[in-house]
Amino acid sequence: MVLAGCGDAPVGQVTDDPGPRAELLVEDLDAPLHVVSPPSDPRLFIVEQTGRIVVFEPGQGLRDTPFLDLSDRVTCCGEQGLLSLAFHPEYATNGFAFATFTDEDGSVRVERFTVSSDPNVANPASAKVVIVVEHPNFGNHNGGLSLFGPDGMLYVGLGDGGGGGDPSGHGQNLGTLLGSLLRIDVDSYEPYEIPPDNPFVGRAGAREEIWAYGLRNPWRFAFDSTSGELYIADVGQFLWEEVNRVPAGQGGQNYGWNVMEGAHCFNAGSCSQAGLTLPIYEYDHDDGCSITGGHVYRGTAIPDVIGHYLFADFCEGWVRSLAPGGANQQVFEWDLGDLGKITSFGVDAFGELYIVTANGRVYRIESGA
C-alpha cells in the first residue's frame, strides 16, 4: 500500500498492509466497458462495447444468451459503442433497464428496455427512446454513463463533443447538452420530465436538463451510497487528469473546461477562476494518460478501503483510492498486479467492487489479508 499526499504530491510512505487483491472472475469477453447489477440481485450484467450485454451468474458463469444485443444498432469502436446500462431502482417490479450507446449517426442515445418473461433476457421490441443527444463532427468524448442517483433521478454524463481543446465550445455553453451532467425524471412523464429543482430551470438560453457543466469527458461518475456525495472523473487534454467531488444534492457546478484543465489554466498563463469548481485531486501525464473513474467502496469484503473512492489510469494500470477526508485527505496506491488497461469499474447489488479491462476480463476485488 503506497501513501501519498493529495493532488500531484510525490509518493511517500510505503507500508506492509496487504490491501485488496484482484481475483479473475470472467475472461474472453468482447471489449467489456461496464459491470452493473439490479438492486438486490446477485447477477452481474456485463456491457460489451460492440453491442451485447451478457449475464454472469455466481456459481454458474456466463449465460449463453445475452440479456440484450444491440450490435446492429451501435456504432463502435474507439470511444463509441454500447457504453453503459442502468437498472431502474424498481427493476424488480417494472423490469426497466436503460442502455446508453452511440447510434449509426454518432449521436448518444439512452433507450429503455423491459425484461421479457425470461428474467435473463430483455425484450428488444420494448425499446423506448428516452433522450438522443446529437454528437456531430467527432467520434470521441461521448461520456456515456447513465445511472440512477439516490434521489431516483437518472443522471447522464456527456463529453464535450470531441476534438482537441473543445473546438465547438460546448464545455462552457449552457445552451448545449454536451460537456454536461444531465439530471432527468424518467418516471413522471415519457420520455422524461425536467425536475423543477434542477439548477438552470428558468434560466434564459440554458438547457434545463443540465445538473452540472464544464466537463471534457466524464469517464466515469458515481454516488457514495452512504453520504450521497457525487464523484466525477474527468479525462484531461494534454497534462492533467482530475477527480471532482460534489456534496449530496448540490447541482449547478461549473467544472471549468475549457477554461481550466484540472486546477490549471488551459492554454493560457492566467485565467479567471471565478465561479469554477476545482478538482479535489489531479495527476499529470508523467503519471498516466487517462483517468478511469470508479466508486466509493461500501461493501464488506475489503475493510481497508471502506469509504474510499477508487479510480485508475487507463495507460499505467495503477489503482488508487482517496481516503475519506477534507483538504488533507490521503491518497493510496494499491498493488493489484498487472491487470492491463482498466476501462471501467463496477459495483454489484451488495456494494462489492469489480474492475473491467480492455483485454476482455472482469476482476472482483477481494481483501488481501
Q: Which of 17-26, 42-51, 96-105 has the lowest average pLDDT?
A: 17-26
Q: Report the mean per-residue pLDDT for the chain.
A: 93
Q: What percent of the chain has pLDDT over 90?
A: 90
pLDDT at 12 over 70: no
Share of the chain above pLDDT 70, in %: 94
pLDDT band at 2 (very low <50, low <70, confident <90, very high): very low
pLDDT one-digit tens code per residue, 118-137 = 999 999 999 999 999 999 88
Closest CA to 157 of 344, 348, 363: 344
Cell of 50: 460492440
Region 339-365: mean pLDDT is 97
How high is the pLDDT of residue 368? 80
* pLDDT score, position 18: 63
Distance CA 298, CA 70 (A): 32
Q: 4: pLDDT confidence band, cut at 50, 70 and 90?
A: very low
Burial of 33 per CB tally in 10 Å (0-12, 13-18, 19+): buried
Question: What is the pLDDT at residue 326?
Answer: 62
Task: For 319-339, write each residue's pLDDT tens digit.
Answer: 999 998 765 679 999 999 999
Whole-angstrom distance, CA of residue 149 vs CA of residue 359: 30
Q: Is the pTM of this model over 0.75?
A: yes
Residue 199 in this model has a pLDDT that exceeds 70: yes
**Domains and their CATH numbers in the chain:** 33-290 (2.120.10.30)
Cα separation, 242 vs 265, whole angstroms: 14
Asked if the model's pLDDT at residue 1 lies above 80, the reply is no
Cβ pair 348, 44 in contact under 8 A: yes
Residue type, 96: F
Q: Is the per-residue pLDDT at 6 higher than 90?
A: no
pLDDT recorded at residue 323: 93
b/e sequence 251-272, b meaning 16+ C-beta within 10 Å: bebbbbbbbbbbbbebeeeeee
267 vs 197, which has greater pLDDT? 197
Site of grid cell 483538504: 327
Instruction: Say yes or no to pLDDT of 76 above 70.
Output: yes
What's the whole-number mean pLDDT along residues 91-119?
A: 97
DSSP one-letter string for 89-139? TTHHHH-EEEEEEE-TTS-EEEEEEEE-SSTT-EEEEEEEEEEEE---S-S
Q: Residue 58 pLDDT > 60, yes or no?
A: yes
Q: What is the pLDDT of residue 328?
A: 66
Handedness of CA 345, 47, 109, 153 (dihedral sign): negative
CA–CA distance, 336 with 39 (Å, rounded to integer): 28
At 203-234, the pLDDT tens digits run 999 999 999 999 999 999 999 999 999 999 99
